[in-house]
Chain A
Amino acid sequence: MPSRVNTSAGDTLGGTATPPSRGSREFTVKARSQRQIVFRRFRQHKAAMASLVVFVLVVLFAFIGPLLWSTSPSFMSNDIFTAPDGPHPFGTDSNGIDLLSAVMKGTQSSLIIAVVVSVVSTSFGAIYGAVSGFYGGWTDTIMMRIADLFLTFPIIAIAIMLDNRFQAEASSLWLLIAVLTALFWPGAARVIRAQVLSLKEKEFIEAARALGARDRRIIFRHLLPNTLGSIIVISTLTVAGTILTETALSFLGFGVQFPNTSLGLLVTTNQTAIEGGHPWLFYIPGVFIILIALTINFVGDGLRDAFDPQQTRVRA
């Protein structure tokens, strides 16, 4: 059973040499690339695999669903506040809008916002952190203090203020993405900087320098690729964080506006639905937010374990 050989240190080398065969018993060890190892480890994480499946289903629901379910999320029918049943599986709201189509549309825009924010904030944060850690000294001190400054203000306050400033302007979606990015990049910068601080002392960086590589080449070709594991984990977790923060900002009236919709906006508009006797309007979009955040968090956790070569299993 060759698959047994993938614990601890050996597999970080991408496969070990075939041990000398003893007597007639002969076995071979398959060489695996780093990527294969990560995939294998990830597959063994049951919660993460299950979450990945659920998450893919939610994505399909949001992007393929509207093609199959023809009701428009802005069509106001005469069926007001109908409880979930046949023609309206998720019920309808105060305007007679079909909640199923609204949730599809909302999930779609929430996911798009989350992915854009995650990609932009993680890439920017990673490059910023790598540059800061690579140069060290005063550059590092100043760059990291600037990043800290972003964490000094409660993001909610900044959002309320910007909302007041740009109220009527149609660019609210881009503004929302900018605010969320501003919130999430310092975290990425911090983690990547810490890794670069130790990576830059390694021999391969010295070798690259000896070969005449410039700073930029070292950062982009040698340092950043070595932090790829962390970058992937951070970007996954940022997706979950963004979905949750978007809800908070929607509650304060910032971000996606009607007739566009997002999961946060749906929950906000229906915040009194439980008292009003139409609890599904509050529960269903909320469950979708939780579903996305929960599955993404598990996937991120699985990825973290998969990328971490020093997994220790200890008992006290």
Chain B
Amino acid sequence: MLVYSVRRLLQSIPILVASTFVIFLMVASSVDPMTPYLTKKPPLSAAQLDSLRVKFGLTKPLLQRYWDWLTGLVLHGTFGSSTQTNFHIGQQLGYAMEVTLRLVIGTILIALILAVIVGVTTAVRQYSKFDYATTAIGFLFLSLPTFWFAVLLKEWAIQINESTGTHFFDTLWESSPNPPSGFLPQLGDGAQHLILPVVTLALLSYAAWSRFQRASMLEVLGSDYMRLARAKGLSPFRVLFRHGLRNALIPLTTQVALDTAALLSGAVITETIYSWRGMGLFFINSIEMADPDSVMAWLLVTAVFVVVMNLIADLLYAVLDPRIRLA
């Protein structure tokens, strides 16, 4: 298992290096830190502009800039320097990540639990009323635009708040502007703000995953080893969970990992609607401020997150299926 993990870890390094290069090229070609200075009124003199170009390192050749950025990243662990004043990329991004991770991890957890329960039940009771009902609901969620659904839930929550005259749902920000003091009250405050965005994203993600889980469970249920397990006289519970579910979980782990980038996209939209100060806001601001190093840091962090999620999926895969880890 250890050898397998290390080997898998080493395999993801080339992908990361390649993605740093792609990130650098993308940002270098589309985010120009000079933009705000070129349109300034009164216009800056040519000498001033040139000194700014030197300051931003734009006079150096492209590959040298890439190398400087990469070595800064690897050797010193810095994301470069922001063109915004008083803006420490690492600190700001750290806070934004913490906020977004709450949403993403909460979503994955809830969506996974829902997907496995619904997927397994509908596979075992195929063509039952429950199966037809959840299939219909699943298809509906599969066909909802994230943005539309998020707005809908938010508006409904506001209407419920207004009609009951209470503050039942929090529809703005990731925490109250004046959070209560103390650890537990703060945690409660955060959780309260978490409910609506997580429900939005989790319902949208669970739909596809439960279809997936149902299909793989059906395949497993029809296999010979399940018949053998039953024939051996194992308890139905043991047959279903130890022999059935364990194997049927493998495709789902891969699928969840593959969906990570899409989930982050969904998180950006959901966050924006609920006015969270997370990764979405960080990215949109960095683009608007024409701050290439911040944009690169953001893309890098998300790329690492996606790669790590794939790594976790592969490791889980090996935990679930001994043939893989022993191969």
Tell me whether A176 is interfacial, beta carbon within 8 Å.
no
Q: How far does the alpha carbon of A314 sit from the alpha carbon of B31 in the complex, in Å?
A: 55
Asked if A64 is at the interface (CB within 8 A of a chain B CB), the reply is: no
Contact, CB under 8 Å: A156 / B147: no
Residues of the A chain whose Cβ atoms lie less than 8 Å from the Cβ of B306: 151-153
**Stretch from A74-82, A123-131, A196-204, A266-274 at the B interface:** A266-274
User: Nearest 7 A-B pairs (CB), nearest first?
Assistant: A293-B143, A247-B145, A165-B30, A294-B143, A156-B265, A314-B222, A274-B155
Q: Which of B14-22, B36-44, B183-191 contacts its partner?
A: B14-22
Residues of A within 8 A of B145 (CB): 243-244, 247-248, 264, 267, 286, 289-290, 293
Jot down 15 A-B pairs with beta carbons below 8 A, ordered by A: A148-B15, A149-B15, A149-B18, A154-B265, A156-B264, A157-B283, A164-B30, A164-B31, A248-B266, A275-B158, A290-B144, A294-B139, A297-B139, A301-B139, A315-B126
How long is the Cα–Cα vector from A148 to B314 in the complex, in angstroms?
15
B299 touches A153 (CB 8 A): yes
**Contacts of B285-303 to chain A: CB distance below 8 A:** 287-288, 295, 298-299, 302-303
B318 at the interface (CB under 8 A from A): no
Number of interface residues of A (CB under 8 A): 43
Q: Does A60 lie at the interface of the complex (its beta carbon under 8 Å from any beta carbon of B)?
A: no
B residues sitting closer than 8 Å to A (CB atoms) are: 14-15, 18-19, 22-23, 26-27, 29-31, 123-124, 126-127, 139-140, 142-148, 151-152, 155, 158-159, 218-219, 221-222, 240, 244, 258, 261-262, 264-266, 268-269, 272, 283-284, 287-288, 295, 298-299, 302-303, 306-307
- Per-position contact with B for A249-277: 1 when CB-CB < 8 Å, else 0? 00110000000000010011001001100
The reply on A208 being an interface residue by CB < 8 A is no
B57 CB to nearest chain A CB (Å): 20
Give the chain A neighbours of B240 by CB distance below 8 A: 316
> Distance in Å from the Cβ of B215 to the closest Cβ of chain A?
10
How many residue pairs link A and B with beta carbons under 8 A? The number is 141
Partner of A161, one of B139, B269, B287, B303: B287
User: Cβ of A40 < 8 Å from any Cβ of B?
Assistant: no
- CA–CA, A234 and B145, complex, Å: 19
Give Cα A268 to B27, complex, Å: 27
A244 to B221, CA, bound (A): 33
